Structure 1
Amino acid sequence: MIIRVPATSANLGPGFDSCGIAVARYLTIEVKEQQDSWFIDHQLGAEVPTDETNLLLTTALSICPAIAPHRLVMQSEIPLARGLGSSSSVIVAGIELANQLGNLNLTPQKKLELATAIEGHPDNVAPAIFGDFVVSTYFPKRSERTVVSVKHQFPDCGVIAYIPKVELLTKTSRNVLPQTFAFKEAVEASAIANVMIAAIIQGDLAVAGEMMSADRWHEPYRNSLVPHLQSVKDSCLALGAYACFLSGAGPTVLILTPLDKRDTIVKKLQDSASDAAEIAPLSIDRIGVHVR
């Protein structure tokens, strides 16, 4: 059995903690033979555990402690602490591992609720489960459905990830955000997000991109942590990109482009980034978590 989970990009600028897209880079978990104890075979570095302390297994065993140990092979194209949903992909894979080995028959909605409770917000886990573009919100104190989500097809476009070689932990990136927001500023920030979502639904990436690049919720406060953001944004927008925005908590920047301008923008970014970042042409993943 192979479980495959896509990378994700959360926020899309103003859709803070609620909007996200799935992109075509993957975490793959291959389930091998049953054995006496769990072991995860991987080449991801010494800091990633190979035993039950791995997030994959702490997640799976928290949901179904009785599942029998297996040897697992973990491969990931999703870099750690770069804003592409690396931890969310592992959580979603852990839930699916428990679902398959425990014969739990979890619904997608139940998977989303479990993943959100572990992750804390649904912006990454929802597109990792459903694929494509998902808008979602979390109500942790509700007794009934705690997560409400809506999936919609994201318009076809070029997708480019500017992935710096340095990490930025989500906790560090969240610590620079304000604790309160003035009412007038909140209304403006909310309106920008609303127009962005409406434009995506209409397939109007020109308007959506304008809103994505005009976030008020988080990017202005994180600029000091991602000094490359503004220069990448200026360069790509000048070449005709629809939008440039911080992917999740950063430091990755995601660029959306017309398909006929993608290669030109990729080359420009490669020339300017040198060895400081990986420039990765991507596409939207429409499926989400997949088992075969």
Structure 2
Amino acid sequence: MADSDFVSEAATHIIAAGGKRFRPTLVFVCSRFGGDVDEEELIKAALVMELTHVASLYHDDVMDDATVRRGTPSANVMWGNHVAILVGDWLFTRASTTVNELGRDFVDLQAATFTRLVQGQIAETVGPREGDDPLEHHLRVIADKTGSLIAASARFGGMVASAPGEVLDALSAFGEELGAVFQLSDDLIDITSTTTGKTPGIDLREGVPTLPTLMLAASDDPADEALKARIAGDLTSDEALADTLAELRAHPVMERARAEVRRRAESARRHLDILPEGEAKDLLLQYCDDLVDRTA
């Protein structure tokens, strides 16, 4: 909590709205691949990852001019952009203070992760440069903005448990791939969603690049030109959006995108081969299955 009641209220606004708490949960699960664990250190490691993630959401909402986060008005709507940015900064400082109590190795990883988060946000903001492949650019943004923090969460758990280096490396590699699967599955859900609770077509309407649309844009098949033009055109009306979604859902590019998600999930699974069998490993494997199932 902050010294100021207002800062405490604003800083807990997104946290109180709910969320999956996936990253701290991953810290706890991955702490089971080593030796004895100090419970206080484990809680601090999980807290650092969650505070870092939540802080990035405050900044993301300002960058995206978002109005809703987790079903409640976003902080920038509640208190304005300046306050939202400063509260995000405050949360980052709380994460930094806490990680300092865990030791130099944790501080170094947290700093490297924060660097990648900012780098990914910059890359997303400026877009691909001349000569860049747009799909590769999208994948790099995902790696830095999503994969880095999920990888750090997995590695933090192993570090708290003093897991050997090869296990830490496996957990990091798993987290990187899982982060890609997580975001790429969201890319598909923006188009396919009917039962997930996410309104379909939000990214499509706003022109946000996603895996299926980038794959389609790279197509040189003349038969795809009309759909590409519709996607690049005015999707303001609900009718235009619904028609474009229907055509995109029926297009073969969707299966190609699903295949890429399955491929990345399988890559994540392979990184777990060296880990001992048991409930913790089963949970990590289940994460992969659940993310693939979201895109079915």
- Taking structure 1 as the reference length, the TM-score comes to 0.27
Between the two structures, name the one with larger relative contact order (CA 8 Å, sep ≥ 6): 1
Greater percentage in strand: 1
**The structure with more helix, counted as a fraction of residues:** 2
